[in-house]
Amino acid sequence: MLLDIIKRALIAFLSLVCTFLLDTRIKELLSMTSNRWLHELVFEPFSVFIVVFLYIICIISLAKLCFLLSFSTVSKLEQIFYTMGIIFLLIKFQWLFLAIVLISLIYFLLDVKEYNYKVKRLK
């Protein structure tokens, strides 16, 4: 029980940290001119790779959190805590977090479909 709570809290924290880092890195990339961005992409691809990697980690962690909240026993207080966290992230990061949430919901639905397929197969 306590281990599950810690697991969900760590996943939520990972999503928060990745969103914050992604926000700072994306603002840097969007403020560049096209020539400077192309230079970054060709000669310093690691900065672009970090943005893509953080975006993927954010999507997967948020989808995993939704999956854990949907298919495990979670108290009302914990559900309120995570809902407030998601609302805070939506207010703070607006369009960026909205894009992350929409894509992670698609990933979550695919994960649920795979989970249901595994459950049916085991019955």
Phi, psi (5° rounding) for residue 44?
A: -135, 65
| Closest of 111, 26, 113 to residue 60, by C-alpha | 111
Contact 96, 16 (CB under 8 A): no
pLDDT tens, the chain, 123 aa long: 778 788 888 888 888 888 888 888 888 877 878 888 888 888 888 878 888 888 888 888 888 888 877 877 778 888 888 888 888 888 888 888 888 888 888 988 888 888 888 888 887
Ranges of each domain in the chain: 2-122
Cα–Cα distance between 120 and 58 in angstroms, integer? 29
pTM of the model: 0.77
